Amino acid sequence: MSVEEREPGHFRLLPWTGEQGKPCYVLTDGSGHVSRVADTIEVVQLGMAEDLLGHAAALLADRTAGNIELHFLASRLTESLREVKRIADSRAMRLGDRSGEHP
Protein backbone atom coordinates (compact mmCIF):
# COMPACT_ATOMS: atom_id res chain seq x y z
CA MET A 1 0.00 0.00 0.00
CA SER A 2 1.40 3.40 -0.96
CA VAL A 3 1.63 6.44 1.31
CA GLU A 4 -1.17 8.09 -0.68
CA GLU A 5 -3.48 5.10 -0.01
CA ARG A 6 -2.68 4.94 3.70
CA GLU A 7 -2.78 8.61 4.60
CA PRO A 8 -4.76 11.08 2.56
CA GLY A 9 -3.11 14.44 2.82
CA HIS A 10 -0.32 16.51 1.45
CA PHE A 11 3.20 17.47 2.29
CA ARG A 12 3.36 20.78 4.09
CA LEU A 13 6.48 22.91 4.13
CA LEU A 14 7.06 23.82 7.76
CA PRO A 15 8.04 27.33 8.93
CA TRP A 16 11.39 26.15 10.26
CA THR A 17 14.41 24.45 8.78
CA GLY A 18 16.27 21.32 9.69
CA GLU A 19 19.94 20.55 9.78
CA GLN A 20 22.08 22.73 7.54
CA GLY A 21 19.10 24.94 6.72
CA LYS A 22 17.28 22.24 4.75
CA PRO A 23 13.48 22.54 4.47
CA CYS A 24 11.27 20.43 6.73
CA TYR A 25 7.99 18.85 5.63
CA VAL A 26 5.18 16.95 7.29
CA LEU A 27 2.62 14.68 5.64
CA THR A 28 -0.65 16.04 6.97
CA ASP A 29 -4.35 16.50 6.48
CA GLY A 30 -3.92 19.91 8.11
CA SER A 31 -5.40 19.05 11.49
CA GLY A 32 -2.55 17.32 13.33
CA HIS A 33 -0.41 18.57 16.19
CA VAL A 34 2.56 19.51 13.99
CA SER A 35 0.29 21.48 11.65
CA ARG A 36 -1.20 23.39 14.59
CA VAL A 37 2.28 24.18 15.93
CA ALA A 38 3.32 25.32 12.43
CA ASP A 39 0.21 27.54 12.18
CA THR A 40 1.07 29.15 15.52
CA ILE A 41 4.68 29.75 14.51
CA GLU A 42 3.58 31.29 11.20
CA VAL A 43 1.31 33.73 13.05
CA VAL A 44 4.20 34.71 15.34
CA GLN A 45 6.61 35.11 12.41
CA LEU A 46 4.16 37.28 10.45
CA GLY A 47 3.52 39.43 13.53
CA MET A 48 7.24 39.87 14.07
CA ALA A 49 7.66 40.84 10.40
CA GLU A 50 4.99 43.51 10.80
CA ASP A 51 6.66 44.87 13.94
CA LEU A 52 10.03 44.87 12.19
CA LEU A 53 8.62 46.87 9.28
CA GLY A 54 7.44 49.52 11.73
CA HIS A 55 10.85 49.60 13.38
CA ALA A 56 12.55 49.81 9.97
CA ALA A 57 10.40 52.75 8.92
CA ALA A 58 11.24 54.60 12.14
CA LEU A 59 14.96 53.85 11.89
CA LEU A 60 15.15 54.89 8.24
CA ALA A 61 13.28 58.12 9.01
CA ASP A 62 15.92 58.89 11.65
CA ARG A 63 18.70 60.20 9.43
CA THR A 64 21.21 59.85 12.28
CA ALA A 65 21.18 56.03 12.27
CA GLY A 66 24.69 54.67 11.84
CA ASN A 67 26.14 51.79 9.91
CA ILE A 68 25.90 49.37 12.83
CA GLU A 69 22.18 50.05 13.32
CA LEU A 70 21.46 49.84 9.59
CA HIS A 71 23.46 46.62 9.23
CA PHE A 72 21.58 45.07 12.14
CA LEU A 73 18.27 46.19 10.60
CA ALA A 74 19.22 44.72 7.21
CA SER A 75 20.15 41.42 8.87
CA ARG A 76 16.82 41.18 10.72
CA LEU A 77 14.86 42.18 7.59
CA THR A 78 16.66 39.45 5.63
CA GLU A 79 15.78 36.83 8.25
CA SER A 80 12.18 38.01 8.35
CA LEU A 81 11.83 38.05 4.56
CA ARG A 82 13.19 34.49 4.42
CA GLU A 83 10.56 33.38 6.96
CA VAL A 84 7.72 35.18 5.18
CA LYS A 85 8.79 33.67 1.84
CA ARG A 86 8.79 30.19 3.39
CA ILE A 87 5.24 30.82 4.69
CA ALA A 88 4.13 32.02 1.25
CA ASP A 89 5.72 29.00 -0.45
CA SER A 90 4.05 26.65 2.03
CA ARG A 91 0.65 28.20 1.49
CA ALA A 92 1.08 28.21 -2.29
CA MET A 93 1.91 24.50 -2.19
CA ARG A 94 -1.22 23.78 -0.13
CA LEU A 95 -3.41 25.82 -2.48
CA GLY A 96 -1.95 23.90 -5.40
CA ASP A 97 -2.80 20.61 -3.69
CA ARG A 98 -6.44 21.65 -3.22
CA SER A 99 -6.86 22.61 -6.86
CA GLY A 100 -5.24 19.42 -8.08
CA GLU A 101 -2.21 21.29 -9.39
CA HIS A 102 1.33 20.95 -8.14
CA PRO A 103 3.65 23.96 -8.13
pLDDT in tens, 24-65: 999 988 889 999 999 999 999 999 999 999 999 999 999 999
Structural domains in the chain (count): 1
Residue 69 lies in a domain: yes
Residue 76 lies in a domain: yes
Residue 65 lies in a domain: yes
Average pLDDT, rounded, for the chain: 87
Q: Answer whether residue 66 is part of any domain.
A: yes
CA distance 87 to 15: 6
11: containing domain: 3-95
Q: What is the pLDDT of residue 30?
A: 83
User: Quick check: is 101 in a domain?
Assistant: no
pLDDT at residue number 1: 33
pTM above 0.85, yes or no: no
